[in-house]
Amino acid sequence: MGDPINLISQWFNNLLLGWGLAEGLVKVISLAIGAAIVATLGLVTVIALIWVERKIAGRLQDRPGPNRAGPFGLFQPFADMIKIFTKEITTPDGADKVAFNIAPILAMASVLMIWAVVPFAGTVVGANINVGVLYIVAVGSFGIVAVLMAGWSSNNKFALLGAFRAVAQMVSYEVPMVIALLVPVLLARSMGMNDIVAAQTPWFIIIAPLAALIFLITSMAEVGRAPFDLLEAESEIVAGFHTEYSGMGFGMFYVSEFLHVWTVGALIATFFFGGWSGPGAENFPILGILYFYMKTFIGYFLVTWIRLSLPRIRIDQMLAFNWKFLTPLSLVVLIVTAVVDKALEMAGVERWAYALIMLAANLLIGWIVVLILKAVEPNRKRQRVEFEHRPVAVAPKSTDS
């Protein structure tokens, strides 16, 4: 009664076995169906998200948002979908056709694949592997490859420039992101996603708030959303690496971005907000799924809110913020977490005292950082960006950015 999902899968397995199929084949079929359901669920979520996001954006900007198609504009994403499915896909002159067409598929797959290891509830988890956290990082690198392929194969200046910016941003922010991920791994003593969820008493947002903050910021940069959307800055490089894509080719990049934001919400929920855990979730996995989705939505809303509130940053600010602030900070947080954790373990303190001291250590780091920033900021020379004068109609010899 408490676990209908595993009950259904067991019933299904028995049904197939009853038909006289081999055991190995039954396993493959049921796993494949599970994978298809999880992946489809991700895409269906995106349809809902497109409406939710436009509604949130509308409300935050003091306008109603979509409200014509259906009640509350609920049918808007379906209208969009029908439109984009019937649009022509063009391939630009001189493009590398194979790479050009594979890139959007790879971009989408790289985001979808993360969902293979996300635990929805205690017993509802696709693959409970012992290297879950590194798997997520590994899958993300296919997204980088997809962006490079798209930018290079388009045979377009803006696309190539956008790809360079995108990859520089993605690889740069991967460093503090992975180091921030080391903190929950260290606290849980495991890279398995379900182990990390199980270890969260109390939630890691209390024990490691700075790591959570760094993870949130770097994830937003990985997705490439405002304020980190300089890789598709319309006023500078048209649309970045997907300038030449039309119809569903562009649609895949668009959908993968939406799904990526939702995935970021899911990862923040899993790593720092206790994942599926909550009152009664142990016995009733359905409740766990509900908690998981609620927490995921909080993370998603946070990212969307920040996106709609902040202006775009420049590329030099983007890189300096990462390498001169986030990376050293994340390393310091990791060192302090490791040392304090070991010291408390040797002192043998209670769990609540442990959590409080960890929180205090994090707040102390945060306070010192604020002090340092206050001391440095007034003395820092403002960087002036100056351009040589050049005639408008003549092509520049070199573009440097």
The footprint of another protein on residues 373-392 (CB under 8 A) is 383, 385
Stretch that binds another protein, among 65-73, 100-108, 208-216, 285-293 (CB under 8 A): 100-108
Q: Is 36 in the site for another protein (CB under 8 A)?
A: yes
Rounded CA-CA distance 313/307 in Å is 12
Instruction: State in angstroms the smallest separation of the CB of 28 from another protein.
Output: 7
Shorter beta-carbon distance to another protein: residue 8 or 43: 43
Instruction: State in angstroms the smallest separation of the CB of 322 from another protein.
Output: 9
Q: At what angle do helices 23-60 and 76-85 cross, to 10 degrees?
A: 110
Rounded CA-CA distance 179/169 in Å is 16
Stretch that binds another protein, among 23-31, 228-236, 262-270, 351-359 (CB under 8 A): 23-31
Tokens matching residue 144: 């980088």
Shorter beta-carbon distance to another protein: residue 21 or 38: 38
Among 4, 6, 27, 70, binds another protein (CB under 8 A): 27
Give, for 260, the enclosing helix (H) or strand (E): helix 247-272
Q: Is 339 in the site for another protein (CB under 8 A)?
A: yes
Q: Is 98 exposed, middle or buried (0-12, 13-18, 19+ CB in 10 A)?
A: exposed
Instruction: State in angstroms the smallest separation of the CB of 77 from another protein.
Output: 14
Among 219, 243, 263, 296, binds another protein (CB under 8 A): 243
Q: Is 91 in the site for another protein (CB under 8 A)?
A: yes
Among 251, 265, 275, 299, binds another protein (CB under 8 A): 251
The residue written with tokens 């299904």 in the block is 12
| Residues making up the chain, counted from first to last | 401
The residue written with tokens 């270890």 in the block is 199
Q: Is 6 in the site for another protein (CB under 8 A)?
A: no
| DSSP notation for 344-396 | HHHHT--HHHHHHHHHHHHHHHHHHHHHHHHHHGGGSPPPP-------SSSPP
Binding mask 165-204 for another protein (x = CB under 8 A): --xx--xx-xx--xx--x--xx--xxx-------------
Which of positions 270-329 make contact with another protein (CB under 8 A)? 315-316, 319-320, 323-324, 327-328
Among 89, 294, 353, 370, binds another protein (CB under 8 A): 89
Q: At what angle do helices 209-223 and 327-347 cross, to 10 degrees?
A: 150
Stretch that binds another protein, among 151-159, 262-270, 280-288, 357-365 (CB under 8 A): 151-159
Whether 227 and 313 have beta carbons less than 8 Å apart is answered as yes
Contacts of 330 (CB under 8 A, 6+ apart): 175, 176, 179, 180, 211, 214
Rounded CA-CA distance 206/396 in Å is 53
Among 18, 20, 24, 311, binds another protein (CB under 8 A): 24
Which of positions 101-130 make contact with another protein (CB under 8 A)? 101, 104-106, 108-109, 112-113, 115-117, 126-130
Q: Is 34 in the site for another protein (CB under 8 A)?
A: yes
Q: Is 232 in the site for another protein (CB under 8 A)?
A: no
Residues in a beta bridge with 119: 125
Instruction: State in angstroms the smallest separation of the CB of 296 from another protein.
Output: 19
